[in-house]
Structures are given as structure tokens and as C-alpha cells.
């Protein structure tokens, strides 16, 4: 069985949970207390030397790290990953945008505000991170003026990757009211059959709902 | 013909140049003066609303952005992208590692030191970025103790993505002498037939060497 090492309040972990739910897959979920250093133990580092969740254990194929690589692996051959090379490349374009231009601003500021608090060093970086986050949201808004989804003609793993931290951007002080295209897109993603919320995140065996 | 919008001292741009050279492809190269704001003009933003190089124009298929998405697109069906799903996922794992954990530390510090200079804000962030860069190099060193390449049994686009800024890490003050596995891997990558250096980066039509 697939085993997901995850932290309940992590959008990177939630990406994987959400795709597993949309695909109706059963898996075992292990909660990792990252604030307590549990992603830095020798056992965890043996799975991912970079010491970050999520990690998906694939059974005999070993552990796979990096949320967006896990999404790609799980989505291959499903409706969440297009088959045309150009659509696949555009899907990846948005997933790399998410990790480079979106997550380090929107997710990091949220993590500071919700978990770590604002010390002097973080407070000094806040204006640049805030500007970077709004720039990323503006790029998304521009794209959504011309297309309903990121990466293809239907919802893809690029949408899942971008949804995870965008839908909780307000918790980091990023007001979404100025981005009507983004807000409408969030509703489209959340309305997909099989969608699961970020919280609560159950531990142990997670199965798709009966009749789902 | 493929047209690459690029900046000569950018490792992200060099990734694409290097793969094009290894594949023996002819392309047109356009130098973009990013320090002069030339990636922020209306014309450039129409190609990539995120205002970053590299952008590869694919002719009728339009522009593609994000260096690692471009690598993936160009490498599909070649020896630089494995066909097995697990090897493809591990290749992507390292490419996302590169954009999240490596580039924002090693490339950004190099850019500050070589181009922007160290103002107070950058100087305050330097210790954390320096530590992050060395942590990324240590993760690479750990991997290279067990495998000669990243992502597969042979050189892949993950190696190209990681080579670009690792081979100039010293310009950002990251001493590589403590990473013998990384140093040996850099030599393996640079020894591949068709390899091209980062500089000089010619403008106009770039063709593979005669007899190459």
C-alpha cells in the first residue's frame, strides 16, 4: 500500500492527499511533526536526504519526494495529466512556477504567520515576500483571463499544485478579493467530484468515501 | 526554428543552451538584458507573464517558459529523459529540488555577488542562503555516494538542471572542495560529447559544430 509521510497543515502534503482523493486511492497516512524536527531524524533522512515532507513510499520502488514529482507520478495515465507533449510541458511550466514564484512567497509567509511568528529577520523580508506573492497571484489572474485551467483544457496536476497554497493564502494575509479570476478558479477546483478539504487530515488508513 | 530568449550569465538559460547543444539542435538565440528591465516589457510579458528568462518560442505552438519545463519538453524521446515512470519521477524530484532548494540559495547568492552587490537587506539574508546552499550541496553529495547520476542510470535533464548553477557555485562563494562526489560528477557532465560552456553565449543562429 502507498504510505504518505505528511504534515497536516502543509499545502505541499495536501496536494498529494487531494490527488489521492480525486483518484479514489486508498493509502496509509503518517503525520510528521516537522516543527518538532521529525523530518530531520536519521530514519526520515534515509527516505529523503533533503528532510522535507511529503514523501510517498511506493513499496518495493522505495520513497519518492518533492510534492510536484509525486503528483506527476500518480497522475500519469489519468485525466489529471494530459497526453499531448505541449500540454504536458505547459502543466510542468505552471508546477515549476508554483515551486519557484508562488510557494516561497505565499506559503512561506503563511508559515511564518501561522506557526513560526515574525522575528526581526522575517519581518525584514516580509515586504519583498508579500510583493512576490501578489506578483504570483497577478500572473495567475492574467492566465485565468484566457483559460479556465492551468496546463490544459481540463483540470490537471498544475491546478492541484497551485490550489494547495492559494486557497489558504488569506491565512498569510494575502487578500484574494482583488483576484476574481483566481477566486472563481478556486471554486471550480473545490467543486470537483472527490474533492477533500485540507483539514482534518486523518492518520492511518485513508480510503475514498463509500459510494465515491 | 526554435528561438531562445536568454541571458548569457543565467544558469537557467544555460540549462536550455546546454541541452540544445547536446542534442545537436540549431536555434536562434536572443540576448535579453534582464538588469535593464528587458524581461519586463509588454512584448516579453506577452510571452511569459512571470517576466523571467528563459523563454523558448516553439513556432506555431507559442512560447514555453520555466527552464526545467523547457528541458523536459526538449528531452522527451531522447536519451536525456528515461522512459520508465519511476525513473521519470525521480528525474522530476531532482528538478524540483533544484528549483526549490538549490537555485534560490546558490544562484541567488551568486547573482547578488556578481551583479547586484550586497546591500543591507541582502547581507542580512546571506547566512541563511549560504547555509541553504551548502545543505543542498550536501544532499547532492549524499546522493552521489550511491549513484553516478541524478534521476536515472544515465545522465538526464536532472543532471543538466543541477549542473548549471553548481558548476559556477564558486562565483557565489560556495567552495566545492568539500564535496568530492559533486566535483567528480561535474567533470562527468562536462565530459559528455557535445558539451558547451556557459560563456561565451553567441547571439543569432546557433548551430552544432560541424562534424559534431
CB burial string B17-45: b at 16+ within 10 A, e below? bbbbbbeeeebebbbbebeeebbeeeebe
The DSSP element (H or E) to which B122 belongs, if any, is helix B120-144
Chain A residues with CB under 8 Å of B76 CB are 85, 88
pLDDT at A152: 82
- Indicate which of A57, A92, A108, A120 best probes the interface with B, i.e. most B CBs within 10 Å of its own CB: A92
Mean pLDDT of A144-172: 97
Chain A residues with CB under 8 Å of B121 CB are 124-125, 128
pLDDT at B211: 53
Q: Are A82 and A89 in contact (CB under 8 A)?
A: no
- Indicate which of B65, B66, B145 best probes the interface with A, i.e. most A CBs within 10 Å of its own CB: B66
Does B97 sit within 8 Å of A88, measured CB to CB? Answer: no
- What confidence category does residue A210 fall into, taking pLDDT thresholds of 50, 70 and 90? low
Beginning with the edge strand found earlier in the chain, give each strand of the sheet holding B204-206 in spatial order.
B63-65, B55-57, B2-6, B27-31, B204-206
The pair phi, psi for residue B63, each rounded to 5°, is: -85, 150
C-alpha to C-alpha distance for B2 and A200, rounded to whole angstroms? 48
- Indicate which of A97, A150, A179 best probes the interface with B, i.e. most B CBs within 10 Å of its own CB: A97
Q: Which residues of chain B have pLDDT under 70?
A: 210-212
Of the candidates B72, B89, B104, the beta carbon closest to that of A89 is on: B72
- What confidence category does residue A8 fall into, taking pLDDT thresholds of 50, 70 and 90? very high
Measured in angstroms, the CA of B187 and the nearest CA of chain A are apart by 23
Cell of B66: 520555466
pLDDT at B208: 84
Residue A108 pLDDT > 60? yes
pLDDT at A165: 98
- What confidence category does residue A208 fall into, taking pLDDT thresholds of 50, 70 and 90? confident
Closest residue by Cα to residue A97 from A64, A130, A126, A137? A137
What does the mean pLDDT of chain A come to?
96
Give the DSSP per-residue string, B74-116: HHTTSTTS-SSHHHHHHHHHHHHHIIIIIIIIIIHHHHIIIII
Of the candidates A86, A97, A139, the beta carbon closest to that of B61 is on: A86
Of the candidates B69, B121, B138, the beta carbon closest to that of A93 is on: B69
Of the candidates A65, A93, A125, the beta carbon closest to that of B66 is on: A93
pLDDT single digits (tens) B35-60: 999 999 999 999 999 999 999 999 99
**Does A134 contact B at CB distance below 8 Å?**
no
Tell me the CA distances in angstroms from B70 to A10, B89, B202, one per residue in order. 28, 16, 20
pLDDT at B145: 97
pLDDT single digits (tens) A36-94: 999 999 999 999 999 999 999 999 999 999 999 999 999 999 999 999 999 999 999 99
Cell of A148: 479556465
C-alpha to C-alpha distance for A116 and A35, rounded to whole angstroms? 9
Cell of A69: 514529482
Does B96 sit within 8 Å of A99, measured CB to CB? Answer: yes
Instruction: Count Cβ–Cβ pairs < 8 Å, chain A vs chain B.
Output: 106
pLDDT at B212: 47
What does the mean pLDDT of chain B come to?
96
Contacting B residues, span 46-65, partner chain A, CB-CB under 8 Å: 49-50, 52, 58, 61, 64-65
Residue A212 pLDDT > 70? no
Of the candidates B66, B121, B139, the beta carbon closest to that of A49 is on: B139
Does B101 sit within 8 Å of A100, measured CB to CB? Answer: no
Of the candidates B49, B65, B96, the beta carbon closest to that of A69 is on: B96
pLDDT at A209: 78
pLDDT single digits (tens) A161-202: 999 999 999 999 999 999 999 999 999 999 999 999 999 999
Does A92 sit within 8 Å of B68, measured CB to CB? Answer: yes
Beginning with the edge strand found earlier in the chain, give each strand of the sheet holding A204-206 in spatial order.
A63-65, A55-57, A2-6, A27-31, A204-206
Chain B residues with CB under 8 Å of A67 CB are 96
Helix locations, A6-152, DSSP H: 11-22, 42-47, 67-75, 85-97, 108-111, 120-144
Cell 505552438 locates to B61
Q: Searching chain A, which residue's CA lies closest to the CA of residue B104?
A: A100
pTM score, whole prediction: 0.98
Mean pLDDT of A4-21: 98
Does B89 sit within 8 Å of A69, measured CB to CB? Answer: yes
Length of chain A: 212
pLDDT at B38: 98
Cell of B163: 549542473
Amino acid at each position: 500500500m502507498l504510505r504518505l509521510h505528511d504534515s497536516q497543515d502543509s499545502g505541499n502534503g495536501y496536494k498529494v492527499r487531494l490527488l489521492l482523493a480525486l483518484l479514489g486511492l486508498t493509502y496509509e497516512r503518517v503525520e510528521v511533526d516537522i516543527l518538532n524536527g521529525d523530518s530531520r531524524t536519521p530514519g526520515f533522512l534515509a527516505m529523503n536526504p533533503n528532510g522535507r515532507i511529503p514523501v510517498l513510499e511506493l513499496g518495493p520502488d522505495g520513497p519518492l519526494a518533492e510534492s510536484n514529482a509525486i503528483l506527476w507520478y500518480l497522475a500519469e495515465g489519468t485525466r489529471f495529466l494530459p497526453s499531448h507533449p505541449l500540454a504536458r510541458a505547459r502543466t510542468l511550466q505552471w508546477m515549476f512556477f508554483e515551486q519557484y514564484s508562488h510557494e516561497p512567497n505565499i506559503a512561506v509567509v503563511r508559515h511564518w504567520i501561522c506557526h513560526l511568528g515574525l522575528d526581526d529577520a522575517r519581518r525584514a523580508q516580509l515586504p519583498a515576500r508579500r510583493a512576490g506573492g501578489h506578483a504570483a497571484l497577478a500572473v495567475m489572474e492574467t492566465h485565468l483571463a484566457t483559460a479556465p485551467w492551468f496546463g490544459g483544457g481540463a483540470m490537471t496536476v498544475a491546478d492541484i499544485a497551485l490550489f494547495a497554497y492559494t486557497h489558504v493564502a488569506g491565512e498569510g494575509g494575502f487578500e484574494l478579493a482583488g483576484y476574481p479570476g483566481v477566486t472563481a478558479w478556486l471554486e471550480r477546483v473545490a467543486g470537483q467530484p472527490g474533492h477533500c478539504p485540507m483539514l482534518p487530515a486523518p492518520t492511518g488508513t485513508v480510503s475514498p468515501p463509500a459510494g465515491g
